[in-house]
């Protein structure tokens, strides 16, 4: 690391370890959302962590460490979001569920401010995160898709069966007609 005069200063091991951990989180996360937590108590932050679930890691860290880690991880677009006390939400599960958790918590705790983030390499604004939160979860969308597919399969099955049942009814009517004609001839 270099100071403002271009001289190299030794990096403290604890800061290097923190940066390495944040780099790992950036690399393994599906999405990352930055928030400002000024005014939240420790118990409120713990409550937020519980609300986000086990697949999401909410990390309070110094802006300089997160900036360095983002750069090392190749994450771009977050630079302008590092003002004020910043916490990083690393999402490993469903991004929609995490966005809903953040939005809902922010409704009840206005001290939490969603700044934006990154999803699939693209920068997200705070509004984008809110739009994600308005989507239905992956499980709900998959259930709807499965229901639609089941309905279409039922329609297909009845369409395939229709010619067979028409043929069977026609054959029966023909047999009945021949039987009736055979009975008249006798």
- Single pTM value for the model: 0.66
Q: What is the pLDDT of residues 102-136, one digit of tens each?
A: 999 999 999 999 999 999 888 988 898 888 888 76
**pLDDT tens track for 40-51:** 899 999 999 998
Least confident of 2-6, 42-46, 47-51, 91-95: 2-6
Q: CA–CA distance from 137 to each of 53, 101, 147, 185 (Å)? A: 14, 12, 16, 72
Q: Tell me what percent of the chain is helix, strand and coil, each rounded to the nearest 5.
A: 60, 15, 25
């Amino acid at each position: 690391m270099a100071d403002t005069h271009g001289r190299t200063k030794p990096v403290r091991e604890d800061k290097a370890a923190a940066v390495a951990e944040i780099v790992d989180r950036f690399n393994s996360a599906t999405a990352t959302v930055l928030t400002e937590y000024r005014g939240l108590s420790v118990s409120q932050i713990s409550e937020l962590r519980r609300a986000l679930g086990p697949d999401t890691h909410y990390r309070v860290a110094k802006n300089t460490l997160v900036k360095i880690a983002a750069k090392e991880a190749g994450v771009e677009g977050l630079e302008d979001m590092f003002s004020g006390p910043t916490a990083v939400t690393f999402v490993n599960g469903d991004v929609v569920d995490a966005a809903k958790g953040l939005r809902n918590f922010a409704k009840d705790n206005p001290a939490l401010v969603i700044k934006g983030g990154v999803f699939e390499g693209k920068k997200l604004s705070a509004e984008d995160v809110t739009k994600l939160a308005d989507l239905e979860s992956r499980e709900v969308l998959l259930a709807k898709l499965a229901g639609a597919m089941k309905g279409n399969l039922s329609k297909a099955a009845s369409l395939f069966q229709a010619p067979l049942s028409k043929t069977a009814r026609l054959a029966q009517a023909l047999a009945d007609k021949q039987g009736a004609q055979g009975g008249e001839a006798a």
